[in-house]
Structure 1
Amino acid sequence: MRSGLSGRFFSRICETDLRWLVIAVTVINFFRLSYSLKYALLNSASQLNAFHDADVDSSHQVMKLGTVSITLGVVFFATCLIEIFGTVSAVTRQLTLIRIYVDLTFLSAVSLAAAGVINAIAYFAFADDIIEECKSLASSGDLGLKSLFRGSPWQTRPIFYSEEARTQCGNAWSNHASSEILSILFFYLIPSTFSYLLAYTYHRQMHAQKIHRRRTIRMEQFVNNSVSLSPVYDSYSDQGSERPKAGNRRAAPLTSPVKGSRWSDSSTVTVSLSPGPPSYSGAGKHFGHYDVQLTGYTE
């Protein structure tokens, strides 16, 4: 019973038009990967977070973190382009473009999963560099310049004492470690997997609709060809006005032997289909509205 309900549920999902859902997901993924909401409101919205983080790392001489930020920026930028392509393919409903988007979504899902793992490894491997950078930014009151240090548990107010800044940054790093691990699952893996499955399901739906349209067209063509090639249709078309009418139907003479008598070759059975009242005169007999006349010779 449960399997039947679940089957009907998923079949209804597959029958639902996923076009607008695909468009919404691609737009959300684009802004999710490209901009930080707080940074976009306070600064120019034309810079990607990871590339901006690379500039901050370079200015503070933290080259290892800068390399990681550039790697993340390249992955995010490529994924944003893929999401734009997905929006275009969903709007145009071109099956070829949707198929290409499915393949690109798979590549972006793998790339994002790898980027999430790299980011988490860098967070623990370069912990000292992160804490030093946090202390430097906190002392100048620019801690919000880097996306990692925005919001809780990082300090938002300037810290003028280096020891206090180092202690606060160390505690914030420890509190944020669990969030960095969970981000692999909830920020990278699950959204990218969902995007790929949605794109794949949408492609299957569009492919099935295309096959259905082709079958409908072929069926209509088959029916039209069958009617045009029908012998009855051709004979009626050739005869034109000679087609038999309902009020002028007369059967051909038939020969039939009768038990106890011999019929000559000229004996015929004539069936008149002209309507009229029943009559019993002469050798003929009328049955209902049809006149059946039997003519023959006996020995």
Structure 2
Amino acid sequence: MIAERYFNIEWTIIQLIVNYLEPIKGETVVTWKADRLNQVDQLTENVIDLLAINKNAIQRSVKTQAERAYELVRLHLLEEFGIEVEYDPSIAQEAVEYLNRDITRALPSTSEELYLQVIEQVAGEPKKDEQELFEVFGSITLASLEKGLTSGFIQSDGVVWSLKRVAAQIEKKIYINTYNRFFEKLRFNGVELVKVHKFVKPRPACAHLQASGTICIVPRTDASPENLVYPNIWDEEHRYEQPGGHRGSDGNCRHVWHGLNASKDKTNRLYNPIDEIYLALEGYRIKFINNLNTLLGH
């Protein structure tokens, strides 16, 4: 998994930061701070080397996930509509570009920022003796590192995403982009009507569509007259491919398009890999905190 690869990189960097910062017996606060500031460049070089070592493995992970997503949707379209589609390498290329932009290029600087933040916070605390330096170092370092590393992705409102969140989201988007891109090909193969199964709590933009069960996926201007009676995904209320809409770009609509004669809902088969990504993320968060406590002796 792509996210798991980055999780391991993050944990290695966190260990590096702790190892570089950990006080040595006999150090004063002044000498500790001066020495650790002199090691900033060394830490950054280690992070860059770590990313370079993992570069090819990350690209292989992206390609593996893109191929898995393609195979799932290829089999679905073949079984449901008798349509064969070809692999699209641009989806994997886009994911690599986003990973480079939002994580890889940012990690050297975000790692350095976190490192310097811990130094300033520890040095800013009043300490009476060497033992207190160790105690303050442990508590402040735990509080500073427990959220992990930040990415280079910043929301419009200024919120900075964590490395973990970005890695999981980009991996998820490989599947969502693959499904949306290949579902879109249906209308170019003469398919006008598809079936959608019902969820207990559909998003508002999908409620009318799933209530009908049969929906039209081509614009009304292109639809056959007899198919105009069905809800049309291109009507404004359904916000097709928009955030919050039917099969929206946010990837939170899980409606899968089935053939009209389909009796089995195959949603889970397509979305299990995405669920696995987020289960792994939650598991990693717990493991990360436990390992960090152990590393700092808490």
Q: Tell me whether the two structures share a fold, i.e. TM-score over 0.5.
A: no
Classify the TM-score, shorter chain. under 0.3
Q: Which has the larger radius of gyration?
A: 1
Instruction: State the TM-score, normalized to the length of structure 2.
Output: 0.26
Question: Which structure is richer in relative contact order (CA contacts within 8 A, separation 6 or more)?
Answer: 2
